[in-house]
């Protein structure tokens, strides 16, 4: 798996990376390129799916859907718009979130403690050591947010929880949660564009 | 200045957010099924909104790489190959032409042919056979499945307010859910147009008050829903196919 990490750490928008080239070959029908892309990227995409769709068999199912989509849509990948790993990660997130939205019984209800400042237990330390410039910048801007708002944004992003779920999980009114998140997003944008 | 723990925030949760915030909420993943579907259909039809979404995806992209990779059981790769119709013993060579694309194209062509036959077969029975009315020039919208393959073809007759829905035949939902058709005018909530079928063509009459919404860039989407209660007020099940109308 270290191979996948090397690939995406160096990823920058607009530059060709091995994943970019694989996607280009996949768009032309190369199964070999597809298999290599799967080997290099699937542990990361599986982590994303598993975090959102907690049930393992469901997450495996979503991952199949993700790669079927990658095979069919590789030609639509636009290197100017997103890095290859980001593009793959966004497909995985979207499929995983669509899956849990279609199954109301899978709503996340476990309480969320916003004050805790513990590092994410599933964080990837290798990336922390060699974080890309974008990553450092996003971290800086997230760190400018109030600690509780920061953990709310992170929980929303990683778990794919809705406003309603988050309100229940932290025991605050829905309007308040919406308002915090929207203000945090605006603050984040302002910081990232500074 | 309010504290973060009271509810009296100035930019309250009630006001509709700006386009950029709506894009951010979609990317963050906090939207319920209905608003999420509306955002997805807007991405298809509204380039400016799609750009805002891409901007937020870029901003959040570094977070997606933060999770520790998890080993994937080998059965997943086997199932992906099965799903793509690749023989398991075949080496991964790169074919000059992608056989799958061929079959997808073939399915689309078959459906288009079927549509043509149906149009020839049925249109004269539905309408007075006046050639000058140009029934055959109606726009066809492809409702694509997630993987890009065609799911249904919709012939939109905006003037009469009818949609001829022709499926590319597929297996019914394993959980027994029905296919429900939604009309989503740009920036608005989905409205049910009732049930459609996985294996046969069917004409849908659009209620007179909604006919004005059969316009360019309105989205047609099909979701899986309990058969009871159709038409529903809002989709709750997964979207299996969607496409934007181009008249």
| pLDDT tens sequence for chain A (194 residues) | 444 444 444 444 444 458 889 999 999 999 999 999 999 999 999 999 999 998 999 999 999 999 999 999 898 898 877 788 889 999 999 999 999 988 777 677 777 776 554 455 455 544 433 346 788 889 899 999 999 999 999 999 999 999 999 999 999 999 999 999 999 999 999 999 98
B215/B139: higher pLDDT? B215
Hey, are the CB atoms on B20 and A93 less than 8 Å from each other? Answer: no
* Cα–Cα distance for residue pair B157/B137, rounded to 1 Å: 9
Condensed to tens digits (0 to 9), the pLDDT of residues B216-244 reads: 888 999 999 888 888 888 888 888 899 88
Residue of A nearest to B7 (CA): A176
Inform me whether the C-beta atom of residue A48 falls under 8 Å from chain B C-beta atoms.
yes
Largest CA distance in chain B: 70
Condensed to tens digits (0 to 9), the pLDDT of residues A138-171 reads: 989 999 999 999 999 999 999 999 999 999 999 9
The pLDDT, as a whole number, for residue B88 is 65
User: Buried (b) or exposed (e) across A16-25, using 16+ Cβ within 10 A?
Assistant: ebbbbebbbb
Chain A, window 105-164: residues with a beta carbon less than 8 angstroms from a chain B beta carbon: 120, 122-125, 127, 131-132, 134-135, 138-139, 146, 148-149, 153-154, 156-158, 160-164
To the nearest whole angstrom, how far is the Cα of B29 from the nearest Cα of chain A?
5
Q: For helices B19-28 and A147-159, give the axis angle rounded to 10 degrees.
A: 70
Given pLDDT bands bounded at 50, 70 and 90, which one contains residue B14? low
* Cα–Cα distance for residue pair B108/A134, rounded to 1 Å: 42
Chain B, window 22-61: residues with a beta carbon less than 8 angstroms from a chain A beta carbon: 24-25, 28-33, 36, 54, 57-61
pTM of the model: 0.62
B175/B137: higher pLDDT? B175
For residue B21, the chain A residues in CB contact (below 8 A) are 182, 185-186
């Amino acid at each position: 798996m270290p191979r996948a990490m090397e690939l995406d750490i160096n990823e920058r928008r607009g530059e060709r990376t091995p994943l970019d080239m694989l996607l280009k070959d996949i768009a032309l029908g190369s199964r070999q390129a597809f298999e290599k892309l799967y080997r290099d990227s699937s542990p990361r995409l599986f982590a994303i799916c598993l975090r959102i769709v907690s049930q393992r068999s469901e997450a495996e199912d979503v991952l199949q859907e993700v790669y079927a989509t990658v095979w069919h849509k590789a030609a639509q990948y636009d290197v100017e718009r997103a890095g290859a790993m980001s593009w793959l990660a966004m497909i995985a997130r979207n499929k995983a979130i669509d899956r849990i939205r279609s199954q109301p019984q899978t709503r996340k209800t476990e309480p969320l403690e916003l004050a805790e400042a513990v590092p994410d237990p599933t964080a990837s330390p290798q990336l922390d050591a060699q974080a890309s410039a974008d990553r450092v910048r996003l971290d800086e801007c997230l760190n400018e947010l109030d600690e509780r708002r920061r953990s709310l944004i992170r929980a929303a992003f990683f778990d794919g929880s809705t406003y309603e779920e988050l309100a229940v999980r932290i025991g605050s009114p829905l309007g308040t949660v919406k308002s915090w998140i929207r203000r945090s997003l605006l603050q984040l944008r302002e910081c990232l564009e500074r | 200045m309010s504290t973060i723990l009271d509810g009296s925030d100035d930019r309250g949760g009630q006001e509709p957010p700006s386009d950029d915030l709506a894009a951010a909420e979609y990317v963050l993943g906090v939207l319920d099924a209905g608003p999420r579907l509306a955002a997805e259909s807007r991405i298809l039809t509204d380039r400016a909104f799609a750009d805002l979404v891409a901007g937020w995806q870029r901003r959040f992209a570094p977070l997606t790489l933060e999770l520790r990779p998890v080993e994937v059981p080998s059965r997943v790769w086997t199932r992906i190959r099965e799903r793509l119709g690749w023989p398991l013993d075949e080496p991964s060579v790169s074919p000059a032409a992608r056989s799958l694309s061929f079959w997808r194209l073939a399915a689309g062509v078959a459906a288009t042919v079927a549509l043509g036959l149906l149009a020839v077969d049925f249109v004269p029975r539905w309408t007075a056979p006046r050639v000058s009315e140009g029934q055959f020039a109606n726009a066809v919208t492809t409702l694509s499945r997630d993987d890009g393959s065609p799911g249904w073809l919709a012939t939109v007759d905006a003037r009469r307010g009818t949609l001829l829905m022709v499926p590319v035949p597929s297996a019914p939902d394993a959980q027994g859910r029905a296919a429900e058709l939604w009309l989503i005018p740009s920036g608005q909530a989905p409205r049910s147009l009732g049930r459609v079928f996985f294996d046969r063509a069917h004409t849908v009459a659009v209620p007179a008050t909604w006919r004005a919404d059969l316009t360019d860039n309105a989205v047609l989407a099909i979701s899986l829903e309990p058969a009871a209660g159709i038409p529903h007020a809002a989709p709750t099940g997964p979207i299996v196919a969607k496409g934007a109308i181009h008249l």
